[in-house]
Structure 1
Amino acid sequence: MKTDLRTALKLTFAGFVACVLTTSLLYSVFDGDEWFARSIGGIVLVFGIGALARAGRFPGFSVPLLQVAGVLVYLTSTYAPDDAKGGWLPGEATLRTLGDLADAAFTEIDTVTPPLTPSESLTFLVVAGVAAMAVVVDLLAAGLRQTALAGIPLLVLYIIPAAVLPDGVHGALFLLPALGYLLLLITDSRERLLRWGVAVSGRADGARTRASGELGQMTRRIGVTVLSLSIVIPALAPRLSDGAFGSGGLGNDPDGGGTISTLNPLVSMRRDLVRPQDVDLMRVRTDSVNADELYLRAVTLDTFDGEEWRAGRREVRRFDTGLPKPIGLPDALATATVTTTVEALDALESDYVPMPFPATRLEIEGGWRVDPLTSNVVSHDGPKQISGSSYTVRSYDVSPQPTDVLPAIQIEPYLEPYLRLPADLPNRVKQLAERVTRGADTVLGRAIALQQWFRDPNEFAYDLRQRPGTGKDAILAFLNDRRGYCEQFASTMAVMARHLGIPARVNVGFTPGAPAADGSRIISAHDAHAWPELYLPGVGWTRFEPTPGSAQSNPDVPNWLAPQPETETPGGDEGPVEEATPDPQPTDAPGATAPPDPAAAPTSTACPPDPDVPCTELPPPPDDTDLTSSSGGGWGWLKWVLPVLLGLVLLLVPWAAREAVRRRRWALAGTAAAGGAAAEWAWAELRDSTVDLGYTWPEARTPRQTSAELVGDGKLGPRAADALAMITQYVERVRYAPSGTGAPAGPSRDDLRTAVDDVRRELGETAGRQRRLRATFLPRSLATLLGRAALRTRERAVAARRSVLRTLRLRRA
């Protein structure tokens, strides 16, 4: 039956209302109104495009594609206009920016407990998710007329507040998505009910009168069922009230802790480093005698899976002011203390507290949790909690001597995770680590050798224009190009240290910043930094600094880790390399033989020619072609082509399946043993072709009744009407011929096929182009065929089971 435009628009409006009601649930998770306004804008855009496309008789399969394109433009113009062409047309740079926003949003989700005021990145994720829900609801309800399934995406959005709120969602709030879902069902129910037993033409007024009473009864039943379930389901699912972490979180304990799982915060660090204009984030005052070495550590990345460094899942605990003592730090070294006061400016938003390591006491207001394994302090109320606040940290001033480090390390169970590496770690990484540390027979000697090799200006150069990444491929590219920034230096040294048997992890935080006139230090966005932390026996976790100095930031080596006179740093490219990859040559300019001033930026042929513009003050980035060819070997276009090809393949799957069914039927109809079965094959093909075009096919009617209604409803011409009459007469003779007379003579298989094609062609002309396209690419008859196949399979399984039981009974007898 043809779905008229009026019905489709009603379903579109009902889907819009259902999505708005369900989205309002997120007010229990997020504060403010900006996220809701932008989400409603996405919903309006999706359903507006759907309504206009259906009013314009666009092909059904094109509607969700247009909606997705519209949402992408909407997100681009809202969240990444600077990277888009004209401020709205997305490109590769836009997708990278949106991907960075998504990564930052997932980090925020996994590290804070709602309710909270969402950041820009989290707002982006909410708007994108709500828009995706709207596309699916519109496709199921108004596009495919599967309103029952449209409740699934609505339920998915409901699960979000139910799963993350510490106290769960109040049962009454479940009424909102339930009412929206009920509106969808009621809107669609009338037409579906009137279709039951109604003629093909839909002109049976008596059936409409009879169905009106049934409609009211069915509506009441649906309403009572849905609204009852909306109250019963939350009561029967108490686990939905557990929060992500915190006082009511997963794995919570009497101390009010919980578990957190964070993603890679290196995305935020890079965004700070490449800001065109620097922004002050913190003002720090400290009584440390080595204030220029006082790094502020925020988050520790302790898991390397070959694709990235990330913070693993860890247990967090409440604390008053005292922090747990770092594991492995000897009492003999934990004597002198340092007091540091940090004034977080309004521009700073962070889920973690930047503070010196190792810290023993933290005085800060608000809800915070501490991870005893890493001493990371994470927010319980979102990244804006730290903005504008002041806090005081008391930490140890650990100043060991090289003689305090034991020559060998004993790996305890606590340290085993910090040695894990993927099994497919490239051999080149292992070989270089072993060559660089050749001749160093102690843990400290190997660690210093690695550090000095990375800081050697004849080996490596600092360059922020390199692509981000900490996985195996990024490490290999970094070792080949010998150019990168702190992300690559820190991650590569940590991986090499683990290969050499030294427990290692990566920290993200800030360098000490620049001194101010009043004696404080100003830490800005450009001071964001990453560095490795290695476990030294007898000392504990120790900061190393492999990143060379630059004009933008001057990371400094701890004074006691300066290279010893007897420690030599062999070159990293001595000896043969087993892999086919040639040893990279330094890209520094000729003549750079003497180590420069640490505060000066290393020069190379890849840097801008103007000596007043160092590498870290970036010119415009290379165009997309250069970036693709440098990182993907010229195959970057595949990530655009493959999804398109996959979409085309998926689009052609229903057509191919329907065509296979059609060919099989005509093949069976042409066999010598077909006889009268050829009529049934032709009739089945005519039935499915009619259903595909949007007409109904009441099974209870006789072939002659169905034929008469098709002629009138399909406005068949003389040729198609004669063809339909010929098929009908043959089917009647086969079905109603006296038994024992054999199959009556009839037209050939080719004549039947021609007749079915003539009828289908004229029915398609009457149905219109949109329904013809839907019949080609989304044939409805496939669903019926699959249902019949499933029913036959079930019947065969039941019969087989009965046969087995019968055999067993006979054997027992």
Structure 2
Amino acid sequence: MNAGPEQGTRAVVGAALCVVATWAGLLALAGLVAGRRWLVVACVGVLLVAVATTLARAASRRWWPPTLVGALVALVGVVLRYGAPPGRPQFLPDLDAARRAWATARQGVVVVNDSLVPMPDIRPSEMLLVVGGLVVFLLVDAAVLGLRFPAVAGLPLLALWVPAIVLGFPAGAAPVFWTAAAYLALLAYGAAPLHAQAGRARRAATAVVAGVALVGSSVLAGPSLMQLPGWASVALPTFGDGPIGPLELSDDLDLRESLGTRSAQVVLTYRVTDPAAGDPATAADDAAAADAAAAPTADAATEPPADAGTDAETDTGVDALAAPGSPAGQDAGATPSPTPAPPPAVDARLVGPLRAFTMAEFDGRLWNRTEADELAPWDPTTLLSSDPLLRGTAPDAAAGTLARVEIEVGALRERRLPVPTFPRTVAVEGTWGYDPQRDEVVGRRSTGAGLSYQMLVQVPTLTADDLRGTPVGTPPDLDLYTTVPDTQHRDDIATLAADVTADADTAYERALDLQTWLRSASNFTYDTRVPPARSTDAVWDFLEDRRGYCVQFATAMAMMARTLDIPSRIGVGFLPGQRDDDGAYVVTGRLAHAWPELYFDGLGWVRFEPTPASQSGPPPAWADPFTGITAPGSVPDELGRSGQDALPNTLPSAAPATPGAAADEESPWTTVLLLAGMGLLAAGGVLAAYLLSRRRRRATVPDDAWVALRRELSRIDIHWSSSTSPRGVVRHVQRTLETRTGTGLSGPALAGLENLALAVERTRYAPTPPVHPADELDGWVQAVRDGLRELLAQGAGRTPVPTG
């Protein structure tokens, strides 16, 4: 029999050896996973559990209580780390946290089964690796210190080596050396004097039996494990899931996947030039044609037409929020009609994102690509376009701005050439075909480093006015672009879309309302971590959780548009890159992006941008209410940020700037600090809440002032939906007041309401919105409050607005 578990100093030494052995065993998985964050987290977790088991062993003479205590500590730590709500810590485990942790574990199983070596280092897979490391340590600790059979500890240590051995991706000589050295140290520890009463012969026999069992299990389990689904059996296209290596865009987008590490490799380098710049005669002809046209061309930097200032509902300029007949659109201070803008600058901003392919089939969770049955050849001197009227015609400077684009491929392995969404010619060497329905240039082989191709892009003069009066169109295979998945929340999504667009009269205005609602920082938060699924409908989960990245934003707008009978699809490609000193634009995997495209009659597929401006830059000119206000040079050049924003097995957007987006950079030491300072943080939180409740919060951003104003208006029974746009709120308040009192706001009160609504709109569209002092924001709210109090006080039986 055993003499009981280890005690005293020997127990501490033995625990340290168990920790080292487990750490060394974890190195066996280093070749199977891209990244090292999981390893740091697992090592910290093993160390914390070792401390718990050591303290429990000092207080118990039985072998099993320390293991039980260690298991409970490990369980609580895993639930707190992987079950916490996205964007905020959790200090005590509860059932909701346990459910979220279980859902994360299930996602981890899917990642393991669907990934190709190296597996992406993301939270779901990290959780499985950490749990595995903790279980191995508890087994090693129980064998060495509880049962006093160190030789048996080799079995759980071998379990960490089985995947690498079976899949043929050994971790290298160093992990083998340290694992073997740690195991020999455990055997030496067990053979030391005063360890156990069992004789040396018994210990030697145990070691031999354990060794034979290890070798036998490896030989017998190898062939069987090779037949199981795992890292070696399913080839899932990667989408920038590592810092090195070629990048391939994913053929399926999973709305339930969080974002991991993005590729920093350069995938494209291109130049944009004006084809007429070197021909003075052509330039003079173009200038004369521009002077003869009574309206300016429209791109991301142009102003609205000269007569747009007469429309009180126009989406550009300061008067965009003025209600019909209100003084804001009629007084002497009104913004004068803008003068015709110069021709747009021919640059990457004009050309827009480069789209590789589109997706139309969505099942409620996954976007899946459909391939063309046949590909057509094309003339490299004529246009390729989804519009059959333009396809096959020569580029025409009178139909839009021409831009020459020369692209060189870097670390991109893709069968579809990235091309602009606008009509363009394409000249490329090799065997390539054209898919007219999807507007894709498809090759038999993937692109490789050094491949170059040239395009002449025809950027149309598309404006908001062009779209405002245009009905939806009928693309080929209409059902493919209008089908909404038959999920349990299909009707809920349709109802929400109708509510968001209740004030819109045209298809374009509905699309713009959807985009505005999704871009609002008060409605949604950009976050690289996707909360665990709560229903079978991933879109509804996103609309409920209000957190996601480009895939969620684009999918939500596309599906909501389909419920409004607007054909839609998803475009996948790259945002414009960063301009280097030589004038070339450099695109890395960090700029992979997804966006929705809607179909309009006579105009074809039109791009919109619901992802927040801090991640995607300004929206297209025709979808931007502040065209002419946003700086024309606002090109997302990796957006001047270095945050993590990539999709491990789907796709990343641009770098996040919101607090939740930094989750993938979370330090593993956060777990240690969380457990050590739980009481202090809780006390500090209570004190902070108390102090905040004792003082009035001042608005520091327009959305804060907007929330304060909404709270004030609710006290006099003026309410509106969160989906209502700021300009819609202005109209709603005016109509409500006219119904109650016979007149609406005027003077400083109306000006304050319109100014605040305009400030809120700008924060939703401008990449760098103007900063408003807190006194100015509070002044607008106070002006509205005073005007309402004076207006309602004139009505019989009306209750004045509280002054707070």
Interval of TM-score (by shorter of Structure 1 and Structure 2): 0.3 to 0.5
More helix, by proportion: 1
Give TM-score scaled by structure 2 length. Answer: 0.44
Give TM-score scaled by structure 1 length. Answer: 0.43
Q: Which has the higher contact order (CA 8 A, sep 6+)?
A: 2
Structure exhibiting the larger radius of gyration computed from Cα positions: 1
